């Protein structure tokens, strides 16, 4: 198990966990780009959005619902937040494990990249 996110999902390496359930886990990003910057991952290893199968539809939906719960818990739901999923090298995906960034706590720039 050399995927760092799989190790976080298995809770074998430390992370600042903000949410967990049987299928998902979220933790604070170690290089935050906003006052709130959490990373939500499935416990199941899926390399990227491209690795999602038809059978993962429910999991993908639960990720979005969990992101809303996390935003509420972090106090950014009312003011607004950004959800980002990077895919592949050109999409700046650094860890090859599907993950959703939850960013907020300040006005975010409209500029991409």
Mind telling me the catalytic residues?
A: 99
Q: Identify the residue whose tokens are 């198990």.
A: 1
In the structure encoding, which two tokens stand for residue 62, read together?
């639960």
Q: CA of 43: how far to CAs of 3, 23, 59, in Å?
A: 11, 5, 10
3-state secondary structure of 5: helix
Q: Identify the residue whose tokens are 């592949």.
A: 88
């Amino acid at each position: 198990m050399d995927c760092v996110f799989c190790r976080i999902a298995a809770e074998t390496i430390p992370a600042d966990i903000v949410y967990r359930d049987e299928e998902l886990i979220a933790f604070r990003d170690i290089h935050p780009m906003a006052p709130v910057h959490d990373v939500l991952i499935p416990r199941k290893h899926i390399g990227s959005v491209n690795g999602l199968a038809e059978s993962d539809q429910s999991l993908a939906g639960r990720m979005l619902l969990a992101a809303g719960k996390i935003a509420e818990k972090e106090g950014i739901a009312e003011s607004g937040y950004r959800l980002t999923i990077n895919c592949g090298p050109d999409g700046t995906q650094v860890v090859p494990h599907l993950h959703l960034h939850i960013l907020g706590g300040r006005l975010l720039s409209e500029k991409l990249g």
